[in-house]
Chains A and B, each alone.
Chain A
């Protein structure tokens, strides 16, 4: 019998709520087959379920706990993640309480040697990074789930076994009122780094782990410092190691420090040990004696690993269940959301029967490639923050020493951050479009970036769960053959909209046939898309990545490109 705790977790700032256990129909012999079962209701499971719901796909969402996750955890969310969270309807809530930030400072020997400034583009709605404890993020996602009847949330349901087949999956699920079998056409495993589903299928990740262990601790402490990342290299109290600090809402600070080799997590988390180190860190930044108390703490080690394949028959992996990545650069949840957003439309099209044979495989191809790119980039940060050998330690110390006076060395302290990836060699990209003619705009595989349309109005605000053909035409007309092609696609079950971006010099005439009209009096959207020849078109996937672009377009070329984008 699975009996998760129904005592709210302790926190000095967050009120954990216990969500109800609902006896499932399966326990009374009335179970029905589910289209999709999502295992794990962390940030990725919740967002992916919501994303699927936008295509009308029902799912059941299973989580072993009866409350949201413990601790602030992910904490920092990138601009791209916020754009994805906007698509599933929780971004404005997060933005209203989170702390936006863009600056990071690196200190060595009491001096600031590097200041990272991530530009906040005027065309972006969301700041480069925003900080909010994960409990709130999950709570907002759970509230959003409650607003749709397409997602059945099952609190206190623990998956204990997986029987995977060519046509579906049987999950063994344990609850406080007994165990049952759940039948699903598809299972999405979003059950985290220690994924039970991954273990049940005996799948192994490839890659490596790093030696170093880190403590992360949230302390409530009134430091009076701004919301800027702080990195301290080689402090006296933690020689050779790095200490990070991030400001959080509700008066909290995240402190992150490396442990000496050989120290066990148990020893590291003992109150006396933590007190000595946190006191030393506060003293170093001139805040000795400021009262503080710990809310939550944990030990982690950095890893650089991924499953080589994310789709296993009817079980699909996303988030930390699929990969464990170096965390420097906020790469946990921020990578997982990109997985889920890439997967949701592809699985929806597969379920609807509009997908070609290459579509689901492209999820693995695109996201495994992204995982290796992340490993490559983040490993540079890991080698710097936690040098793995004497040679790397000497080079790191050389850079730190030079950075006190030499500009040359400072970019080597750059803290590389999670970013969206370009699916340049995706099988879904159109092979014979006119993308190479473009000088600006967004290349194949890249995400279309946001464009400011007004004081509180941005392009991505207007996009929903659909393919978009962005049309830039000389006369603001949507040709009849394109309208017919769009209609034919919709009748086949492909969500498809034509977004006409009006000419800067037009007066709003003749925009019939467009499903979405973007008024562009200043021509700024035309510029951002790199439209230079008086006309153009972009085919954009439901995950906002470009899969074709043209100067001239007809229905044949469009239909062929959409078929390719669907994996045919």
Chain B
């Protein structure tokens, strides 16, 4: 997953908004919120190979 597709400015915006959204969801609902987000973004990516790579990378260094 070495290609960088998103402009750093947009990534910084998403970083902040995702943090604030996790807070809005609250600790009990954080996982549910992130699962929903993952499904919606999976629809945007629509490529199961890339999705699997993203899963693997996310499981690293936890």
- The segment out of B2-10, B11-19, B34-42 that lies at the interface is B34-42
Complex alpha-carbon distance, A216 and B40, angstroms: 36
Complex alpha-carbon distance, A408 and B40, angstroms: 8
A397 near B35 with CB under 8 A, answer yes
Task: Give every chain B residue within 8 A of A397 (Cβ-Cβ).
Answer: 32, 35
Complex alpha-carbon distance, A398 and B32, angstroms: 6
Task: Give every chain B residue within 8 A of A398 (Cβ-Cβ).
Answer: 32, 35-36, 38-39
Task: Give every chain A residue within 8 A of B53 (Cβ-Cβ).
Answer: none
Shortest Cβ distance from residue A90 to the other chain B in the assembled complex, whole angstroms: 46
B32 near A399 with CB under 8 A, answer no
Task: Give every chain B residue within 8 A of A409 (Cβ-Cβ).
Answer: 39
A401 near B36 with CB under 8 A, answer yes
Complex alpha-carbon distance, A402 and B36, angstroms: 7
**Size category, B interface:** under 10
Complex alpha-carbon distance, A401 and B31, angstroms: 13
Nearest-CB residue, chain A, relative to B43: A408
Task: Map CB proximity to A onto B19-33 as digits: 1 under 8 Å, 0 otherwise.
Answer: 000000000000110
Task: Map CB proximity to B onto A388-432 as digits: 1 under 8 Å, 0 otherwise.
Answer: 000000110111011000101100000000000000000000000
State which residues 145-190 of A face B: CB under 8 Å: none
Shortest Cβ distance from residue A13 to the other chain B in the assembled complex, whole angstroms: 43
Task: Give every chain A residue within 8 A of B38 (Cβ-Cβ).
Answer: 398
Task: Map CB proximity to B onto A374-398 as digits: 1 under 8 Å, 0 otherwise.
Answer: 0000000000000000000011011
Nearest-CB residue, chain A, relative to B38: A398
**Size category, A interface:** 10 to 19
Task: Give every chain A residue within 8 A of B39 (Cβ-Cβ).
Answer: 395, 398-399, 402, 408-409
Task: Give every chain B residue within 8 A of A399 (Cβ-Cβ).
Answer: 39
Nearest-CB residue, chain B, relative to A408: B43
Complex alpha-carbon distance, A395 and B35, angstroms: 6
Nearest-CB residue, chain B, relative to A402: B36
Complex alpha-carbon distance, A395 and B40, angstroms: 12
Task: Give every chain B residue within 8 A of A394 (Cβ-Cβ).
Answer: 31-32, 35
Complex alpha-carbon distance, A287 and B19, angstroms: 44
Complex alpha-carbon distance, A134 and B35, angstroms: 42
Shortest Cβ distance from residue B48 to the other chain A in the assembled complex, whole angstroms: 15
Complex alpha-carbon distance, A567 and B52, angstroms: 44
Shortest Cβ distance from residue A193 to the other chain B in the assembled complex, whole angstroms: 36
Complex alpha-carbon distance, A398 and B35, angstroms: 6
Shortest Cβ distance from residue A495 to the other chain B in the assembled complex, whole angstroms: 48
By CB atoms of chain A within 10 A, which of B35, B38, B43 has the most?
B35
Complex alpha-carbon distance, A394 and B35, angstroms: 7
Across the interface, A406 reaches (CB within 8 A) one of B31, B35, B40, namely B40
Shortest Cβ distance from residue A390 to the other chain B in the assembled complex, whole angstroms: 8
Shortest Cβ distance from residue B52 to the other chain A in the assembled complex, whole angstroms: 15
Task: Give every chain B residue within 8 A of A402 (Cβ-Cβ).
Answer: 36, 39-40
Complex alpha-carbon distance, A213 and B38, angstroms: 31
Complex alpha-carbon distance, A399 and B38, angstroms: 11
Task: Give every chain A residue within 8 A of B36 (Cβ-Cβ).
Answer: 398, 401-402
Complex alpha-carbon distance, A395 and B31, angstroms: 9
Task: Give every chain A residue within 8 A of B40 (Cβ-Cβ).
Answer: 402, 406, 408
Complex alpha-carbon distance, A401 and B36, angstroms: 8
Task: Give every chain A residue within 8 A of B35 (Cβ-Cβ).
Answer: 394-395, 397-398
Shortest Cβ distance from residue A240 to the other chain B in the assembled complex, whole angstroms: 12
Task: Give every chain B residue within 8 A of A395 (Cβ-Cβ).
Answer: 35, 39
Complex alpha-carbon distance, A395 and B37, angstroms: 11
By CB atoms of chain B within 10 A, which of A397, A398, A401 has the most?
A398
Task: Give every chain B residue within 8 A of A406 (Cβ-Cβ).
Answer: 40
Nearest-CB residue, chain A, relative to B31: A394
Complex alpha-carbon distance, A249 and B36, angstroms: 40
Shortest Cβ distance from residue A77 to the other chain B in the assembled complex, whole angstroms: 35
Shortest Cβ distance from residue A215 to the other chain B in the assembled complex, whole angstroms: 28
Complex alpha-carbon distance, A399 and B40, angstroms: 10
Complex alpha-carbon distance, A106 and B31, angstroms: 24
Complex alpha-carbon distance, A49 and B53, angstroms: 54
Complex alpha-carbon distance, A83 and B1, angstroms: 52
Complex alpha-carbon distance, A129 and B44, angstroms: 36
Complex alpha-carbon distance, A406 and B41, angstroms: 13
Complex alpha-carbon distance, A307 and B32, angstroms: 39
Task: Give every chain A residue within 8 A of B31 (Cβ-Cβ).
Answer: 394
Q: Which 8 A-B pairs have the closest CB atoms?
A: A398-B35, A398-B36, A394-B35, A394-B31, A408-B43, A397-B32, A402-B36, A395-B35
Inter-chain pairs besides A394-B31, A397-B32, A408-B40, 10 sampled, C-beta below 8 Å: A394-B32, A394-B35, A395-B39, A398-B35, A398-B36, A398-B38, A401-B36, A402-B40, A408-B43, A409-B39
Could you list 12 A-B pairs, sorted by A, with CB under 8 Å?
Answer: A394-B35, A395-B39, A397-B32, A397-B35, A398-B35, A398-B36, A398-B38, A398-B39, A401-B36, A402-B36, A402-B39, A408-B43
